[in-house]
Structure 1
Amino acid sequence: MKSKLVLAGAAALLAAPLVAQQAMDHSKMNHSQMNHSQMSGMMQPTAANPFPPAEMKMHERMMSAMGADAGETWTRKMIEHHRGAVEMSQLVLRNTQNAEVRREAQKTIASQNREIATLQAMLRKMGKSAQ
């Protein structure tokens, strides 16, 4: 009897990660019917976290960026991703006096704008309009 209990316990322990992984699979969820009102507090900007509106804007723009093929779609999504980094960096420049953070934010703005220009050029080489 003890061996059956030990085997059953071992089987349950081995299956636990699989069950947990399946339980956390959000890919099959219908997000359009979710109640997002409970998340509103997390989405409000504060002095310590002024970023939620910029993050949501970036997320929405990335989700809607589409092209005729995977390459164009990726390029358009990455443009929005880099634009989001620029906007977040501009926000931190307005909201902190920390010299090191400000320096990194300014470097981020410059590098992300270069990336955006490169991606826009790629779209034009594909015969597509820039965004």
Structure 2
Amino acid sequence: MAKVAPQCQDGTEKMRKTTTILAAIAALSVGAATASAQSNQGPMKGMDHSAMPGMKGMKGDHNMMAMNDYMAAIKKMDQAMMSAKGSTPDVTFARKMMAHHQGAIDMAQIQLRHGSDADAKMIAQQTIDENTKGKAELQAWLKAHGG
């Protein structure tokens, strides 16, 4: 897992924990997608892949639905970030970060739909609130700077 900076811009431990959780979700999503792809092809078709990385603790179709939702959200975010461009590095940054914030919102909404842990759901809601605010700040900056 990628190392997270000791403190985020606003100096809060909460943001560091949120970033760590989102990184873990992304890592699990990649592992689940790889295992899912492998389980549907060739000689591995129909085999139990529960011992594979990223598959530990999976609980049937519901968890696979969540993993599929995470993968779709990550793909959408990646595409939006890659296509976001601007007339200046500042505008490009704002547009790419807006896509990044939307990706965090989308993944947190998936957690709220599929998750069961109350603390994780609370963090997901905080993620939605914080990233909605961050996205709005960037939109306001773009509007004020002709972007």
TM-score (norm: length of structure 1) = 0.62
What is residue 64 of structure 2 aligned with on the other side? 46
Name structure 1 gaps, 5 residues minimum: 1-38
Which of residues 64, 78, 81 is equivalent to 2:100? 81
Alignment RMSD, CA only? Answer: 1.9
CA distance in 1, matches of 2:116, 2:75: 25
Q: Does 1:113 align with 2:109?
A: no
CA distance in 2, matches of 1:123, 1:48: 34
**Is this contact kept in 1: 2:98–2:135, CA < 8 A?**
yes
What is residue 57 of structure 1 aligned with on the other side? 76
Q: Does 1:104 align with 2:123?
A: yes
How many residues matched?
88
Larger Rg: 1
Per-residue deviation at 1:47? Answer: 4.3
SS in 2 for 1:90: helix
SS in 1 for 2:64: coil
Name structure 2 gaps, 5 residues minimum: 1-33, 39-62
Percent identity between matched residues is 38
Which of residues 90, 93, 101 is equivalent to 2:109? 90
What is residue 126 of structure 1 aligned with on the other side? 145
**Is this contact kept in 1: 2:66–2:110, CA < 8 A?**
no
After the TM superposition, which parts of structure 1 deviate over 4 Å for at least 4 consecutive aligned residues?
none
The letter of the residue matching 2:72 is P
Q: Deviations over 1:23-77 (max 9, x none)?
A: xxxxxxxxxxxxxxxx6828xx824624100000000000000000111001000
